[in-house]
Amino acid sequence: MIFDSLITPFTSNGFMVNALAAGLLVAVACGIVGTFMVLRGLAFIGDALAHGVLPGVALAMLLGVPGMVGAAVGAAAMIAGIGFITRRSRLSGDTAVGLLFVGMLALGVAIVSRSGAFSGDLVRILFGEILGVTYAGLLAQALATAVIVAVAYTCRRPFLLLCYDPEQADTSGFSSRLFQGVMLALIALTVVVSFRTVGTLLVFGMLLAPAATAALFSRRLGTMIALASGIGATSVYAGLLLSYYANIAAGSSIILVATLFFVGALIVRRPRGLAHGRGAAKREPKSSAARTSSSVREGATS
Amino acid sequence: MTPFSHGQPCGLAVEAHSLSVGYGETVVIATLEFVLERGRVLTLVGANGSGKTTLLKAIAGLLPPISGALRVLGAVPGASPTRVAYLGQFHPSGFILPLRAIDVVRMARFARLGLLGQGSREDERAVERSMEIMGVLDLRDEPLDTLSGGQRQRVLIAQALARGAELLLLDEPAASLDRGARETYRRVVRDVASAGCSAVVATHDLEEAACSDKALLLAQRVVAFGAPREVLTAEALLSTFGIVARHGEGGVLMIEHDHGCDGDRSMP
């Protein structure tokens, strides 16, 4: 039975249930944080953060401290470093970020290479061990996802203003610097907590791919977050199944599915503003075609 | 001691004394001296690079003054987000957002709502009323990225109005509007002023400046400040724009002159 083969891997293997639960929590966290990251144009900083935690994690493993503590220190150092370089030099933000990104990656690999078990540790950090998630790890992931939901809900107005125009945030009484910091902290939290499940390299895929796919279809912020979380969750489920049957690494297969969703979406639908239908809507905003297309797209939420 | 020893609202919307504004340590306009009474409209007139936007940003609280004193509605700039609405000229990434026209106008109320306040009927009425005034209520559910440049600009002006502010700071708001929309916009600014609110508007449009209560002519310095009919003289405009065009019987007469905005220009 096809139906059985879609369910059995999870009912007969405890580790698959844990992996699914952890993956779904990661999907929700990444759907929310990834949406704001994509809309605010922080993808590169997110990528750098994801790599910046590597030396922290490696050092923590070397010292026998929990890896998550090391990851948090690495992320904090990364955010502080980006701020420092951008302020002290006249370099643009992406140059500062890029420089720190490779520097931290090199430092991480250098530390890991000293620890003896080089390749095994590095692969574990970069690609995670979603099939080996413990209850403690699951609890930490649940807690982090709850914090992310609560903070993102509380900060939805300043976050939206920040994505729209940082000056509008400032003139509306929300410090753009403060809330940009909060947004970066949420990205860091997502990366730090998810490094055990999907790994530091792949968590970036979960932040980016579902949000980017959702951006192609969404006309409202809430829709985009819900869609991104849904696409992420579907990727986790399908990826785990793929991993089970095709015997490939679970983290990678999840990200592969998420990326395929994006490519598929690109093929199915042209980017917003380029499709023929939108051109018609621009000239005649009240045309029935435009009404229908937007009501179909937003039907689920309005 | 500051020049504002009273400290209380004294009927002035904007008050600048020996004010220098700019970016970092680079002064764009030095020793500005002007006041704007409440219920009045001030236009900032000047060429590109003359300092109009810099001054507006300083009044909005986005740029700290380099020196001198600047009071906005009796307080430091940026102190009262609900009482001041700012419409900038550049919109970095706003148009890729998944937003409808009405969502953009609703953002105007965020200053009042804060982080967790619930939007009320009054907020929604302010939003719809502003969209109606600017003639974009029909477009309320249209995605922002499908609107034309002029439609967007009308939505953005509606956003500035929906704040319900006492002071409007508008940076070239009418630049991309067609004639009809420009008329609407000018009427709105007059209505705002007659309701006791004030506006500071950066503009290239001399017609608009001529209709305002006060004009401040800028060329990285104050060329002239006062009632438009007194300050919009050929000589002042020549110093401001470096060019004067006049329709005469035989066609257009142009006089070019150094206007101080381009460093490498020499005097004729």
**Surface of B (188-227) touching A: CB under 8 A:** none
Q: Report domain extents, chain A.
A: 17-201
Listed in order, strand segments (DSSP E) in chain B are 12-23, 26-37, 41-45, 67-72, 84-87, 167-171, 198-203, 214-218, 222-226, 243-248, 251-256
pLDDT at A62: 82
Say if residues B195 and B159 touch (Cβ distance below 8 Å).
no
How far apart CA B184 and CA A289 sit, in angstroms, is 29
Has residue B249 been placed in a domain?
A: no
* Mean pLDDT, all residues of chain A: 82
ipTM metric? 0.85
pLDDT at A61: 80
Residue B188 domain boundaries = 12-227
Could you read off the pLDDT of A148-189 as tens digits, one per residue?
999 999 999 999 999 999 999 999 999 998 999 899 999 999
Q: Of A50, A38, A82, A59, give the one whose Cα is nearest residue A251.
A: A50
Interface A:B, Cβ pairs < 8 A: 106
Q: pTM for the complete prediction? A: 0.84
Q: Which of A10-19, A195-204, B70-79 has the highest mean pLDDT?
A: B70-79
Could you read off the pLDDT of B8-51 as tens digits, one per residue?
344 899 999 999 999 888 899 988 999 999 999 999 998 888 89
Interface check A164 vs B, CB under 8 A: yes
d(CA B128, nearest CA chain A) in Å: 17
For residue B235, the one-letter residue type is: E
Point out the residues of chain B with pLDDT beneath 70. Answer: 1-10, 91-95, 243-268
Has residue B93 been placed in a domain?
A: yes
Q: What CATH number did the domain enclosing B39 receive?
A: 3.40.50.300
Q: Of B216, B112, B68, B114, give the one whose Cα is nearest residue A179.
A: B114
Could you read off the pLDDT of A18-31 as tens digits, one per residue?
999 999 999 999 99
Q: Which two tokens stand for residue B122?
A: 């009054």
Q: Which range is least confidently modeled, A16-25, A119-128, A292-301, B88-97?
A: A292-301
Residues 6+ apart with CB under 8 A from B237: B206, B217, B244
Has residue B254 been placed in a domain?
A: no
Residue A2 — pLDDT band, cuts 50, 70, 90?
confident
Q: Of B174, B172, B194, B192, give the one whose Cα is nearest residue B182.
A: B174
pLDDT at A287: 37
Interface check A166 vs B, CB under 8 A: yes
Interface check B118 vs A, CB under 8 A: no
Has residue B74 been placed in a domain?
A: yes
Query: Which of A157, A224, A278 lies closest to B113 in CB terms?
Result: A157
Contacts of A173 in chain B (CB under 8 A): 81-82, 111, 114
Q: By CA distance, what is A272's nearest residue in B? A: B145
Could you give the dihedral angle defined by the CA atoms of residues B20, B22, B27 and B29, in that order, rounded to the nearest 10 degrees?
-50
Q: How many CB atoms lie within 10 A of CB B206?
A: 16
Contacts of A221 in chain B (CB under 8 A): 97-99, 103
Of B254 and A210, more confident: A210
Compute the radius of gyration of chain A from its Cα atoms.
Answer: 20
Could you read off the pLDDT of A230-283 as tens digits, one per residue?
999 999 999 999 999 999 988 889 999 999 999 999 988 765 544 333 333 333
Q: Of B174, B100, B163, B152, give the one whose Cα is nearest residue B129.
A: B163
Has residue B252 been placed in a domain?
A: no
Angle, helices A176-194/A14-40, rounded to nearest 10 degrees? 160
CATH fold, domain A17-201, is ABC transporter involved in vitamin B12 uptake, BtuC (1.10.3470)
Of B253 and A34, more confident: A34
Domain count, chain B: 1
Q: By CA distance, what is B94's nearest residue in A? A: A164
Has residue B52 been placed in a domain?
A: yes
Interface check B116 vs A, CB under 8 A: yes
Has residue B80 been placed in a domain?
A: yes
